[in-house]
Amino acid sequence: MIDRIRPVVTPAYLFLCLLLGGSSQGIWANVFLRLTAISIIAWALLEYRHSLQPRAIRRLLVLVGLALALAVIQLVPLPVSIWSSLPGREQFLEGFQLLGIPPGRLAPSLAPYDSIATVLALLPPLGMLAAMIGLRGYSTNWLAAALIAGTVGGVLLGILQVTSANPLTSPWYLYRQSNFGVATGFFANSNHMASLLLVSIPFIAALGASARERTKEMWRKSAMLALAGGGLIVVILGLILNGSLAGYGLGLPVVFASLLMLIGPRSRFVQIGLIATAIAGVIALGLLWTAPVSRGAITSVNSRQAILSNSIELVRDYGMVGSGLGTFEKVYRMTEDPASVDRYYINHAHNDYLELAIETGLPGIILMLLFLAWWGQAVWALRSPAADYFARAAAIGSAAILLHSMVDYPLRTAAMSAVLAMCLVLTVQSRRRAQSATDLRPARHLVVG
């Protein structure tokens, strides 16, 4: 019975994350996803076999462990003599003195409850990692199908959203605070829906190409190509209805990289094309950086350059240790000019790397660099012709998410964080199959004279 359930767990949980994890506003939906993740993690720990894991997976788990350890350290109460010596704590110590309250032992995080909430938000991607690494037995085809099904469902919901007579009162938008008037699907933020659409493009190509190779009948091959083409058309329609500048800017490089993926990594044309795609992605990010962060009228928080300037100041203020996970929104307000503040406010830095640098300090920056080095090494290993389509699709999809995180915060949703976890494991585990295929000893022939 358990062996029958095992292959279903991973794609089913991914699909649930796509349906229910589109915003932090869905409190009960996120609670359900986190409780499910805890159950999956417990099951995976019971069946985990360290000796069966490739080195790249073990390194990824070490990075995850270090990140969790950093989060726990930020919650450990310190004597006030040590706490007051940490960077950026002077003004808070003065506040205690003005109130006449003697401070007791204080955690390095300036908002411990927000830090705990941030750690709990990591449960869905951790559950996805546990399902793929610990439970094993998943099917890449079913994972891709779950991803594409969730994306297509989001596009269909988006069509209902944009065709509503009055978007502000439309029942098809799932969250009270949303980007009304455009297709957000199962998300509250249209940029996050765009990120899912971008990731689905290489997986549609991979699913179609993989099915075509395994099918001998010509009519079935034609049917697979038609389905893949239809899925791609639906995704492109979703990008148009979504209206996200990130979707427009990164869409062309992702489509081009997905087409190159089908040719093979060792072709000179492919190598030149990938370089051109990377350059196009950088240009797209540059253009996105000059765009405002909101769709409405110009406000005091509309400039990414202003947010960048204030955020860099916060990095300097909180230095080596950071302000604590989940504290950005509170500490950012201290950098704003009171005369220019209006009803709009900043809840994220629109650059997840910069926001994490503020919240975690130097240890977090080092962990981010180690992760990017790990990811780069995993992607570089996919040059082998034995790497399958899904590994290359995962590399393209994770690249799209990581690039998008430079101008937004898609990984703050359970849906996209679970998708990234899936992409990371697919890249590494397919790389393991590629290495085992190329490490085979050459055949020896005995000539009898």
Boundaries of every domain in the chain: 2-74+109-435
Measured CA to CA, the distance from residue 181 to residue 173 in angstroms comes to 10
CA 90 to chain centre: 35
Q: What is the pLDDT of residue 96?
A: 83
The two tokens of residue 92 are 């808070």
* DSSP structure class, residue 397: H
Measured CA to CA, the distance from residue 182 to residue 58 in angstroms comes to 42
Question: Mean pLDDT over residues 178-196, rounded?
Answer: 95
Measured CA to CA, the distance from residue 369 to residue 402 in angstroms comes to 13
* DSSP structure class, residue 338: G
Q: What is the pLDDT of residue 436?
A: 43
Q: Is 130's pLDDT higher than 50? A: yes
Nearest to 205 by CA among 340, 373, 391: 391
In a 13 Å sphere around the CA of 184, the CA atoms on its Cβ side amount to 24
Q: What is the pLDDT of residue 300?
A: 43
Measured CA to CA, the distance from residue 189 to residue 196 in angstroms comes to 11
Q: What is the pLDDT of residue 4?
A: 76
Give percent of the chain with pLDDT exceeding 90. Answer: 50
Answer yes or no: are the C-beta atoms of 352 and 405 closer than 8 Å: yes
Q: What is the pLDDT of residues 364-392, one digit of tens each?
A: 999 999 999 999 999 988 877 667 889 99
Per the listing, tokens 């009948």 go with 217
Q: What is the pLDDT of residues 317-354, one digit of tens each?
A: 887 899 999 999 888 887 766 666 666 677 888 889 99
Specify burial of residue 3 (Cβ count, 10 A radius: 0-12, 13-18, 19+): exposed
Measured CA to CA, the distance from residue 384 to residue 435 in angstroms comes to 8
* φ and ψ of 78, to 5 deg: -120, 150
If one compares 128 and 294, the residue with the highest pLDDT of the two is 128
Helix (H) or strand (E) holding 363: helix 352-380
Q: What is the pLDDT of residues 249-300, one digit of tens each?
A: 888 889 888 887 776 555 555 555 556 666 666 666 666 656 555 554 444 4
pLDDT averaged over every residue in the chain: 84
The two tokens of residue 305 are 């350059």
Answer yes or no: are the C-beta atoms of 133 and 212 closer than 8 Å: no
Helix (H) or strand (E) holding 305: helix 304-318
Name beta bridge partners: 279: none
* φ and ψ of 106, to 5 deg: -125, 145
Measured CA to CA, the distance from residue 193 to residue 177 in angstroms comes to 15
354 CB-near residues (< 8 Å, 6+ apart):
308, 311, 312, 315
Answer yes or no: are the C-beta atoms of 215 and 221 closer than 8 Å: yes
Measured CA to CA, the distance from residue 211 to residue 223 in angstroms comes to 10
Nearest to 254 by CA among 433, 141, 423: 423
Q: What is the pLDDT of residue 274?
A: 58
Answer yes or no: are the C-beta atoms of 122 and 338 closer than 8 Å: no
Q: Is 310's pLDDT higher than 50? A: yes
